[in-house]
Amino acid sequence: MKQTMLLIGILILGSSCKQTNYQSNVTLNQQDSSKKNMIQKPLEKSELPQSDAEWKAKLSEEEYRVLRQKGTERPYIGEYDQLWDSGTYVCKGCGTELFNSGTKFDAGCGWPSFYEGIDKSRIKEIKDYSHGMFRIEVVCAHCGGHLGHVFDDGPKPTGLRYCINSVSLGFKKK
């Protein structure tokens, strides 16, 4: 009986820690200057990488893990969490303009948060049942890159909080 309870406890602990391990399993390499790229204009569909190998060549290890494998960066470490400059946030995968700095707010969650995207057609929302919970995943409608999730606990006027991984974004200063 004790062995069964111990096994159940280990399984529960393992599943509750799975997301934390998943998030920090890869060495953070956001400052990898050999692959760090600031996209100036959105890529045409024909210019987008087609294979995993092409995406891996284009993105840093951490960018690939988040954008292509639906990972999550650790909170409070992203370069855009506390950036308050005026400008436009773009998809790191393809350069599509996604969020204006005027819609950014400090949600205190450790990731850049926005109450509204530039245009609903640029962001696709997908039901996400991973990690034993229900959320709405947010992906770039142009390249399919994972950005983060959207929640209904944001400020007015929308009441939304787009909780976005910094590593999924680029920034064009105004």
Q: Which of 91, 140, 143, 163 is catalytic?
A: 163
Q: Is the C-alpha dihedral spanning 95, 75, 154, 66 positive or negative?
A: positive
3 state SS of 129: coil
Cis peptide bond upstream of 49, omega within 30: no
Q: Domains in the chain, ordered, with CATH?
A: 2-173 (2.170.150.20)
Predicted confidence pLDDT, tens digits, the chain (174 residues): 444 444 444 343 333 333 333 233 232 333 343 344 445 578 888 889 989 999 999 999 999 999 999 999 999 999 999 999 999 999 999 999 999 999 999 999 999 999 999 999 999 999 999 989 999 999 999 999 999 999 999 999 999 999 999 999 999 999
Q: Where are the alpha helices (DSSP H) in the chain?
A: 2-24, 52-58, 61-67
77: left (phi over 0), alpha (psi -120 to 50) or beta: alpha
Residue 163 known to be catalytic = yes
Please give the structure tokens belonging to residue 14: 């393992």
